[in-house]
Amino acid sequence: MVVEDHGFQRRMALRLLAELGIEHVLEAGEGAAALETLRQLSRNGGEDCPEVVLVDLDMPGMDGVEFIEHVVREKLVPAVVLVSALDPALLNTVQAMTRAYGLRVFGCVEKPLTLAKLRDALSRSDDVLHPDAEVESPHVPVDALRAALAEGRVLPWFQLQVEIANGKPVGVEALARWERGDDGVILPRHFVPVLEREGLAGALTDAMLEQGCRWLGRWKADGMDLHLSINVSPATLADPDSVDRYGEIVRRHGVDPEMVVLELTEGSVMTDVAGTLGVLARLRLKGFGLSVDDFGTGYSSLSQLSQVPFTELKIDQVFVSGANTRPRQRAMIEASLDLARKLGLGVVAEGVETVEEWRLLAELGCGVAQGHLVAAPVPGDQLVEAISQWRRPDV
């Protein structure tokens, strides 16, 4: 659907979408009319509801921001493209607001519309709206999940990390997957909240570290010396016994703690500052690396970096995606890299999906890349094949 009050701009959008092969397009000249159309389609079963709405922000009557708020509240569409000639700072704010509401944002398109701008914004839509994994959230029985964790059926899949300067594979991030037989593979967004609610998040971290270290040993025997990144639950940081437990796990598998990086989100450090800082200090004393994950997406980044003995900074996909065409995102990456250099931190850019994003990161001097351009997450026995297929883009 195209929601645009200016007739010429609306007709231009329809023509460009047709050139892209998108022929089934609804249109509306203002927000209230668009909202009523979407409501009617939803009442009729929702089969004809659009998957993406291109919405102008500056419209008389109901503006684009108010329209988006209604769309989110009533769950009328899964994704939007923001279209405007307004200040980029305002566009960035609306984009952040929309994502915070849980609505997909394929991009901000500055007017005037062009075929290239629309193609770039919509190019990711198939992967996002129709992922290979589940489309609907599966039912997660607590007892079945608890048993799967105890029986080792919640496994790490590994996403490759490579040096941008030379393409060399240097590490993997372990990402939890619940292999549920005929029900397929369940992604962590569906079961991790259940584990956290049941007090089992720490057990998941232990399982990922245990299995990840086992794979490190196998890969090393095959001549691959990789480091391992593990996401750490905030519950772990409140448990002083986790320090010795992690140390015992790596020793048991003959892994040097310096080859293991524990990833923490910014917010996880703020629950019990004194106790958490003690746990983190002890983990560093034992040699574990500490990474601040999703850097810049929280509100305490600088205070965290000043207090926590981090060794690595991960730039979130929110800033990486499309940064080659978005000056504000590029500026955020540049500032993060400059800060990391001054603090002596390694840097990993997450969510690298295009050659253009790779080239920008290379130009800016980012150290390591991770994302689907390099490799999708794979089970441990498929990592060697994933590495063999990896080719560094020309820069």
Question: What tens digit of pLDDT does each residue of 322-374 get?
Answer: 899 888 889 999 999 999 999 999 999 999 999 999 999 999 999 999 999 99
pLDDT digits (tens, 9 = 90+) for 132-174: 434 455 678 899 999 999 999 999 999 999 999 999 999 999 9
Q: Copy the structure tokens of residue 98.
A: 């929309």
What was the pLDDT predicted at 128? Answer: 44
- Domain range list for the chain: 2-129, 142-389
What was the pLDDT predicted at 265? Answer: 74
What was the pLDDT predicted at 268? Answer: 62
pLDDT digits (tens, 9 = 90+) for 203-254: 999 999 999 999 999 999 988 999 999 999 877 787 889 999 999 999 999 9
Q: Are strands 2-3 and 52-56 parallel, antiparallel or unpaired?
A: parallel
For 2-129, CATH number? 3.40.50.2300
What was the pLDDT predicted at 173? Answer: 98
Specify the pTM.
0.74
Residue 105, phi then psi, degrees to nearest 5:
-120, 115
What was the pLDDT predicted at 127? Answer: 46
| CATH H superfamily, domain 142-389 | EAL domain (3.20.20.450)
Asked whether the predicted pLDDT for residue 129 surpasses 50, the reply is no
CA-to-CA dists, residue 294 to 81, 171, 233, 247, 248, angstroms: 23, 18, 14, 25, 28
Cβ atoms of 377 and 159 closer than 8 Å: yes
Q: How many residues does the chain have?
A: 395
What was the pLDDT predicted at 94? Answer: 86
Q: Are strands 154-163 and 104-110 parallel, antiparallel or unpaired?
A: unpaired
Same CATH fold assignment for domains 2-129 and 142-389:
no
Rounded mean pLDDT of 30-57?
91
What was the pLDDT predicted at 113? Answer: 87
The long-range contacts involving 365-370, CB below 8 angstroms and separated by at least 24 positions, are 365/337, 366/164, 366/315, 366/333, 366/337, 367/163, 367/164, 367/165, 368/161, 368/162, 368/163, 368/164, 368/170, 368/171, 369/161, 369/162, 369/164, 370/159, 370/160, 370/161, 370/162, 370/173
Q: By percentage, how much of the chain surpasses pLDDT 90? A: 58
The separation between the first and the last C-alpha atoms of the chain, rounded to the nearest angstrom, is: 38
What was the pLDDT predicted at 119? Answer: 85
pLDDT averaged over every residue in the chain: 88
Asked whether the predicted pLDDT for residue 300 surpasses 70, the reply is no
CA-to-CA dists, residue 68 to 49, 52, 104, 130, angstroms: 15, 12, 11, 22
CA–CA separation, 376 vs 179, rounded Å? Answer: 17
